[in-house]
Amino acid sequence: MALAAGAVAPDFGLLATPDQKVALSEFKGPVVLIFYPADWSPVCSDELSVFSAASRLFHARNAQLLGISVDGPWCHEAFKEQRHVAFPLLADHNPKGAVAKAYGVYRDDDDTSERALFVIDGDGKVVWSEVSPVGVNPGADGALRAVEALS
């Protein structure tokens, strides 16, 4: 069961590049966590393209976007470069899916994560979350509205 509004967001430190870790606690403003099953899948590519296109809207509201999947940092690097993703992609790969499990969105049947969005406020609490079917791109509108509501 995915974490709901009001829950304390578990902190984490994940690789954003093969030699750079990013921790949730580093960010003071709103953070949007974009859990997705895998780099290179058609729906994931579309979803991350939508968030990349909307990234200026989130940044204008002092929100940080972070993509998270069980793929490794080298895979993320290649994917980001080819798809021009405008925000960090974090590798939840060692131990596999540990952060997805902490947020209640790990898929045991295929060892990936659900397609899930979480908006975390400056106090480290979940203020909005949504889990979509794996084959459906949820878009960025719901997360953007949740970030705007924090203003």
Residues classed as catalytic: 44
Q: What does the alpha-carbon distance between residue 149 and residue 151 come to, in Å, rounded to a whole number?
A: 5
Distances (CA, A) of 70 to 51, 75, 106, 114, 126: 19, 10, 9, 11, 21
- Helices 73-83 and 42-59: crossing angle in degrees, nearest 10, is 70
Q: What does the alpha-carbon distance between residue 76 and residue 17 come to, in Å, rounded to a whole number?
A: 8
Phi, psi angles (nearest 5°) of residue 67: -90, 145
Q: What does the alpha-carbon distance between residue 9 and residue 76 come to, in Å, rounded to a whole number?
A: 23
- Among the listed residues 112, 120, 123, the one whose alpha carbon sits nearest the alpha carbon of residue 143: 120
